[in-house]
Amino acid sequence: MADLDNLKDTKDYHFDIPARNEAFFLKGAGALDWGMQNRLARIFNPRSGRTVMLAIDHGYFLGPTSGLERIDVNIVPLLPYCDALMLTRGILRTTVPPAFKHGVVMRATGGPSIRKELSNELLAVGMEDALRMNVSAMAVQVYIGGEYETQTVNNMTRMVDMGNRYGMPTLGVTAVGKDMVRDAQYFRLATRICAELGAQFVKTYHVAEGFETVTASCPVPIVMAGGKKLPAIDALTMAYRAVSEGAAGVDMGRNIFQSEAPVAMIQAVQKVVHELMKPEHAFELYRTLKEEQKATVVA
C-alpha cells in the first residue's frame, strides 16, 4: 500500500488547458474501440498515417515459394524495417523472434493449395489463438466474382463479428482469380464490399488507370498489394503512385524478398511510403544501400 505520510496537498488541475480529445488518425476508424485503434496503430505509423507491411504468407497455398525457403535466413534480417508482418501462425510460432515488436497481421484463411480451386477457402485461425499470439489484425481473403464468393464473404463477416467482440481489426484481402479483370471498376466493387461488410482496412492491387477512385470510394484505409516481381524501379514507382493516389501504404512480398538486395529494397520502400520520396530517388537509394550491403558482406 502507498505510504500515506507527508502527502502533498498542493495540486495543479491545469484549469486553463482544455482536456485533449484528439481524433484517431486513420480513415474510418474514429468510432472504433480503444483496443482496436491501438492494434491499428501498431500497423500504421501515426506520424505518416501509412504502413509498410511485409507479406510472407505465400506458403499457406504455395509451399516454399522462392525467397521464402528459409524464413529464418532470408526474412528475419528484414524485420527491423517493416511496420507490420503478414504471415501464418505456423511461421510466427516457429521462426519469428518473440521480441519482434511491430504489428503482426495474421493470415486467417486457407484450405486449397495451388492444385485446387483457390476461392474455396475457410477460416483457418480462431480468435482465441490470435489473442494468445498477440496479433494486431486478422487477414481474410475475399474472392468477389469467384466461384466461392459467398463463402469467402461469409468468412470475412464472421471474422469481423469476432473481431468487434475482442477489439481485433479485420483486413479484407481482395483476391483476384485467374480469369478476373484487374481494373478500377472491379477493385472499387471489391474494396467497397469489404468495407461495407465491416473490414477495418482493405488490401488491393494498384491499377494504372483510376486507382484514386478506388481509394476515394472506400471508407477505410487501403494498402496496396505487391503482386508479381517487377524490376526495382517499377515496384518503387507503383508504390509511389499508390500512396500518392490515396493508399495508406503497401503490403509487399515478392517485390521485397525476391529482390537482389531485400534489405536495401525494403528501406527504399519505407522512404517512398512514409516520406513520399520520388521513385527515381528511392531507386538511387536502393542502389547505394545495395552496394554498401554487398561491401559489408564481403568485408
Asked if 118 and 61 count as a contact pair (C-beta separation under 8 A), the reply is yes
Nearest approach in angstroms of CB 138 to ligand 5RP is: 13
Given 226, 249, 262, 279, the residue binding ligand 5RP (CB under 6 A) = 226
Grid coordinates belonging to 264: 536495401
Q: Does 146 bind ligand 5RP (CB under 6 A)?
A: no
Q: Which is nearer to ligand 5RP, 32 or 269 (CB)?
A: 269
Contact pattern for ligand 5RP over residues 167 through 196, marking x by CB under 6 A: ------x-x---------------------
Strands (E), the chain: 51-55, 84-87, 103-107, 109-110, 122-123, 137-142, 170-174, 201-204, 222-225, 249-252
Q: Give CA 60 to chain center in angstroms.
A: 17
Nearest to 104 by CA among 40, 187, 174, 26: 40
Q: In terms of CB distance, is 190 or 277 closer to ligand 5RP? A: 190
The residue sitting closest to ligand 5RP, measured at its beta carbon, is: 226
Rule CB under 6 A: is residue 106 a binding residue for ligand 5RP?
no
User: Is residue 123 involved in binding ligand 5RP (CB under 6 A)?
Assistant: no
Element containing residue 255 per DSSP (H, E) = helix 254-257
249 contributes a contact to ligand 5RP by CB under 6 A: no
Burial 96-132 (b: 16+ CB within 10 A, else e): beeeeebbbbbbbbbbeeeeeebbebebbbebeebee
203 given a catalytic annotation: yes
Side chain identity, residue 171: L
Distance, in Å, from the CA atom of 26 to the CA atom of 5, rounded to the nearest integer, reads 46
Cβ contacts of residue 121 below 8 Å, gap of 6+?
109, 110, 111, 112, 141, 143, 148, 151, 152, 155
Which of positions 68-97 make contact with ligand 5RP (CB under 6 A)?
86
Contact between 138 and 92 (Cβ < 8 Å): no
Shortest distance, position 275 Cβ to ligand 5RP, whole Å: 21
Residue 245 found at the interface with ligand 5RP (CB under 6 A): no
Query: Which of 27, 203, 271, 290 does the annotation list as catalytic?
Result: 203
Q: CB-wise, 236 or 252, nearer to ligand 5RP?
A: 252
Q: Does 156 bind ligand 5RP (CB under 6 A)?
A: no
Q: Which is nearer to ligand 5RP, 52 or 285 (CB)?
A: 52
In the bound state with ligand 5RP, the residue whose beta carbon lies nearer, of 133 and 230, is 230
Instruction: For the CB of residue 102, give the shortest distance to ligand 5RP in the complex, in Å.
Output: 16
Residues with catalytic roles: 203
Binding site for ligand 5RP (CB under 6 A): 55, 57-58, 86, 173, 175, 225-227, 252-254
